[in-house]
Amino acid sequence: MMFTGQERERDMRFFLFFWILSFSLSPTICISKTIDLNSSILERFDKSRDDIVFDNATQLMWQTCSAGQVRVKKKGCTGDSLGMTWTDAKKLESPDWRLPTKAELVTIIDNLKNRNEDIPRIHGAIFYNVDETKLNYWTSDSAGASEAWYVNFGTGPIAGKADKTSPFAVRLVKGTFVPPAPEVKPPQDIYEFLGRRDDCKHFAGEFSGEAIDRVRDRQIDKTMTELRCNNVEADEKKLRKKYQGKPDMLKWLNESPE
């Protein structure tokens, strides 16, 4: 039986409508604590619903399966992942579900896997049956009239720009993104001092004082001189005076050296 172009387009619209509707009727999952991206997958992901995954680290809800696949209990995601243009991917969006931004999508990359060997780079115990022939996923971020950003779950660069007509996979998301807290570092002068203080403590513990270790001790003494270890206490007092009244800075100096 032959189908006209209009009939194929109509059938595609019906498929997309009912596919989105099945998720739109899903109840909201209760939000619990926020943890970071390095937490174990059992702590990080809540799979109380088979078809939806809640990420405690970002407060986002992800569809377990890629667009085109259907979640079947005990079988994972069945069917083929759809490869679609960016414009068609945008048509999947509803009041609840949407294309993720690049910043959101990169958070579900499994960074423990080797980028040159292990594919797909996603938690297979959470996101089932990822099609290894379709590892580029569209984001909502347009890059001009003809290109958009995608995230790569295979080998090579994590993200890039591609022509909007490229047939890439889609995984929808909903919720308000809570960016993972950035790594907090002390000011540069405190950062350098802490490293120096730790090194001085380390080398002081290595000093033997025995005749048999004379050559080694001389090298240690030279290194400690270069580090200005005799000035550590005086330099710490200067830093404490500089950051007086700033407890968020002084806390770094209050930490005991390893």
Summarised one tens digit per residue, pLDDT across range 203-232 is 787 777 888 878 888 888 888 898 899 999
Please tell me the pTM assigned to this model: 0.60
The CA–CA distances, whole Å, from 94 to 28, 54, 80, 137 equal 15, 18, 22, 18
pLDDT value at residue 37: 74
Task: Work out the mean pLDDT of the chain and round it to a whole number.
Answer: 82
Closest by CA to 254, choosing from 162, 190, 211, is 190
5-26 pLDDT tens trace: 555 555 555 455 545 555 544 4
The answer to whether 23 touches 172, Cβ cutoff 8 Å, is yes
pLDDT value at residue 33: 43
How sure is the predictor about 34, in pLDDT bands with cuts at 50, 70 and 90? very low
Q: At what angle do helices 232-242 and 247-254 cross, to 10 degrees?
A: 160
Closest by CA to 250, choosing from 181, 194, 202, 195, is 194
Percent with pLDDT over 90 in the chain: 43
Q: Where are the domains of the chain?
A: 5-174, 188-254
- Has residue 183 got a pLDDT over 70? no
Q: Among the ranges 52-66, 212-226, 242-256, which has the highest mean pLDDT value?
A: 52-66
87-110 pLDDT tens trace: 999 999 999 999 999 999 999 998
Region 42-71: what's the mean pLDDT?
90
Region 50-67: what's the mean pLDDT?
92
pLDDT value at residue 76: 84
- Has residue 54 got a pLDDT over 90? yes
Burial code of 31-69, b = ≥16 C-beta within 10 A, e = fewer? eeeeeeeeeeeeebbbeeeebbbbbbbbebbbbbbbbbb
